[in-house]
Structures are given as C-alpha cells and as structure tokens.
Structure 1
Amino acid sequence: MFGGTAPEDAGLTVSVVLEAPGWRRALPRVEALARRAATAALAESGSTGHVTVLLADDRVLKRLNAEHRGQEKPTNVLSFPGYGPEHLGDIALALGVVAREAKAAGKRLAAHFAHLVAHGALHLAGHDHLTAGDARRMERAEARALHRLGLPNPWRGAGA
C-alpha cells in the first residue's frame, strides 16, 4: 500500500516512509526505531517478507481510518494485511495521536512509538485482541518484543 525499500534482516524487510517530517523532530532516529520495533515483533512469529511503516500525521490517519474502518477520526496505528506471501502488510502511525497518548500516559515517546509499531506488526503476523485470551497473548508478545529492544513492558504502569 505504501511502497519503499529497506535492507533485509533474516528474510524480513521493513521500509519506512516518512510522510510527516515532524516525526524526525520528535524522534531523531525514528526510521531506525520503526525498523527495529517491527523486526523485534515479527521475529516473535518467525514471519518473513516485506512490511512498510508509514509515519504520517493525524490528517492522513483520519482519512485512512475513515476509508478502511468507517471511523471519522484519527487513530494511533493502523495495520493493513499484505497482498501475498512476500508482502506481510503495511503499518501507519499518526504523529499527533501517538505524541498525545505518550504524554497523557507519562511514557517516553520512543517507548510508546516502538510499542505501537510492534502492535501493528503483530497484527500483520496474525495476532489479534478480540477475546481476552487473544489480548493477553498479544500483550505478552508486545512485551517480549519491547524487551528485545531494551524498552520497558508497556503493560506495567506509567513511565514506560
């Protein structure tokens, strides 16, 4: 859906499309963090293929959310399943929503951003949180991915 290229890591490629330049001001090495977070989450499931991460603003995520989910509001992260075995899918994040959530929760922006990228990547790997059991499994997978990055468990209190 979003395109781009990135170096391969054990059969996995993660491309980052920087549509909103404010991301780089908020997180100076945002592209590298996005690649690391997606790779850490997808390593959990042994997934291989290509993923694109779109770093956009609230306006873009509002449009995508309306088009694909029928919700006329911006959201923090959206995942779009891939169209073939080599294309795992696409992840899109909204700078304003992500920054506001991190601030409101007392979390570092980098940690919250990495959590949301991992969350989106896990959706592409087949995880979901529709039932309580699925939600617990997904939360544990997110915590393991963030642990691989040296970041705190997002499900253990503020300050993460």
Structure 2
Amino acid sequence: MHVETIIEDDRWTGAALSEAAQSACAATLSHLGLEGDYEISLLGCDDARIAVLNADFRDKPTPTNVLSWPSEERGAEGDGDMPEPPGAGLTGMPEELGDIAVAYETCAREAEELGKPLADHVTHLLVHGCLHLLGFDHIRPGDAALMERLEVEILATLGVADPYE
C-alpha cells in the first residue's frame, strides 16, 4: 500500500498528513482483507482549492472536508451489500484505487467544533475517503450503516474514538 501525497498547503506538512494517510489507508485495506499492491493519490490543499474541485466534480461551489474519486466504479448493487473488491493489479504495478483531496481549513474548523484532535478527525476522513475509493457509500441507508460501522471498527484499530458518539 502506497499513498502518493501532494501537499499544496504547507499546514498539512506540520499536521503529518502523509504519515496519517499511509496509516489510515493501510488499516482500511487490512481490515477488509485486501493484501495486494495498491496505490492512492492524496492532495492536501486549502478550502479555496477544494471548493474549485467540489464545483467542478459535484456542482457544489463550496469548501468541503474530503473528496474522493475512485479509479473505477466498485459500488454494491444492493443497499448494505459489500462492494466488489479491487483487483490485485499487474505484476510489479500497483492497482490504482483513486484520488483523495482534503482541505485544511475545513478539517481544522470541524475538529475544533467537535472538540477532537485534528489528527483524529483527519484520520477519520482519510478512512472515509479510502472506503469511498473501494466502492462504499452513504447515500442509501444500508450502505451508510455499513460504511459507518466499518469506519468505527477501522478507527478503533488506530486508537481513534468512535467519531459518531
């Protein structure tokens, strides 16, 4: 598992985004029993940049905490069903799972409002984004329940408290 990180906002360097992403994404894949050579691209940006991305890809011209773009559609057909796992990729080439972007100001503001350490909140958002890359979603009720349960389980392995309590 490798996370290729691009830092556009230097505040992410001080927040150890690269290390948090590697840990969160590896824990997510491990929890799901995925043992291949996988790669994720991560952008650590600010609110202005993520607002442009949110407008371009979701028609919502406002900042958000995390966005993700899976390399392919992996979603489950049935509400609450597990998505199909990604392939293992070609020998010597990692399977690209997709891209994640996180915005510093929104993440920091949310962490403060929630009374949680920034590192814990960002770890939650990285697990959340990684699950999206793997085909999980939270639009339908069963899918949302599955995704939330997995987030809580994965975060527990990382020593992060249940974000939904």
Q: TM-score, normalised on structure 2?
A: 0.81
Q: Which amino acid aligns with 1:127?
A: F
User: Is 1:104 paired with 2:143?
Assistant: no
**Bigger relative contact order, structure 1 or 2 (CA pairs below 8 A, ≥6 apart):** 2
- Equivalent in the alignment of 1:80: 69
Pick from 37, 45, 56 the counterpart of residue 67 of structure 1: 56
- Say how many residue pairs are matched: 143
User: Is 1:94 paired with 2:98?
Assistant: no
Identity %, equivalent residues: 42
- Equivalent in the alignment of 1:31: 18
Distance 1:89 1:45 in 2: 17
Deviations 1:92-128 (A, max 9, x none): 0000000111111111111100000000000011111
Contact 1:16–1:35, Cα closer than 8 Å, also in 2? no
- Equivalent in the alignment of 1:43: 30
Q: TM-score, normalised on structure 1?
A: 0.83
Pick from 127, 131, 138 the counterpart of residue 122 of structure 1: 131
Distance 1:30 1:123 in 2: 19
Q: Which runs of 4+ in 1 moved over 3 A?
A: none
Secondary structure of 2:155's match? Answer: helix
Question: What do you get for the CA RMSD once the two structures are aligned?
Answer: 1.5
Secondary structure of 1:63's match? Answer: helix
Deviation at 1:56, TM superposition (A): 0.6
Distance 1:139 1:42 in 2: 16
Deviations 1:11-33 (A, max 9, x none): x22222111101123x2x22111
Q: Which amino acid aligns with 1:65?
A: N
User: Is 1:140 paired with 2:149?
Assistant: yes
Distance 1:45 1:54 in 2: 24
Unaligned runs of 5+ residues in structure 2 are 73-86, 90-94
Distance 2:112 2:64 in 1: 16
Distance 2:114 2:162 in 1: 14
Distance 2:48 2:111 in 1: 19
- Equivalent in the alignment of 2:11: 22
Which one has the largest radius of gyration?
Answer: 2
